Amino acid sequence: MESSNFISKNIRELRNKFGYTQAFLAEYLNITPAAVNQYENDARTIPESVVEKLAILFNVDEYELYEENPEKQLVNSSFAFRADELNAADMQQISKFKKIITNYLNMSTALING
């Protein structure tokens, strides 16, 4: 299976795990639901900018979306927000905050180990 197949499968599985609809993902990503469907069915190449946004939304590192073995994905479900509790605009703000925190933690680790 090619890496694009893995990412498509992983996005679909994570979306379902978090309880998000394709329409919610489309609104969050500011794309059409048809595009989300094409990404999930490996019918369209997923841009890196979309991969980055999805990684933040699902609280995983980008490389985990390419992981062949789903058991190796380090999804932290305690940070999962259900779509029925928040709207897409809320999730965009939360995603931006997660990115800031992730960058801070990465920088702190690099400084300590550097």
DSSP assignment of 13-49 equals HHHHHHT--HHHHHHHHTS-HHHHHHHHTTSSPPPHH
Nearest CA among 83, 73, 57 for reference residue 9:
73
pTM metric for this prediction: 0.64
Backbone angles phi, psi at 55, to 5 degrees: -60, -40
pLDDT of residue 76: 43
Name the more confident of 87 and 18: 18
Identify whether the C-beta of residue 87 lies closer than 8 Å to the C-beta of residue 100. Answer: no
Query: Given the structure tokens 């999805």, which residue do they identify?
Result: 54
pLDDT at 82 over 60: no
Pick the CATH number of 3-113 from 3.40.50.300, 1.10.260.40, 3.30.1490.20, 3.40.470.10: 1.10.260.40
Long-range contacts made by residues 67-71, C-beta under 8 angstroms, separation at least 24? 67/6, 67/10, 68/1, 68/6, 70/10, 70/13
pLDDT in tens, 19-63: 999 999 999 999 999 999 999 999 999 999 999 999 989 888 888
pLDDT of residue 81: 53
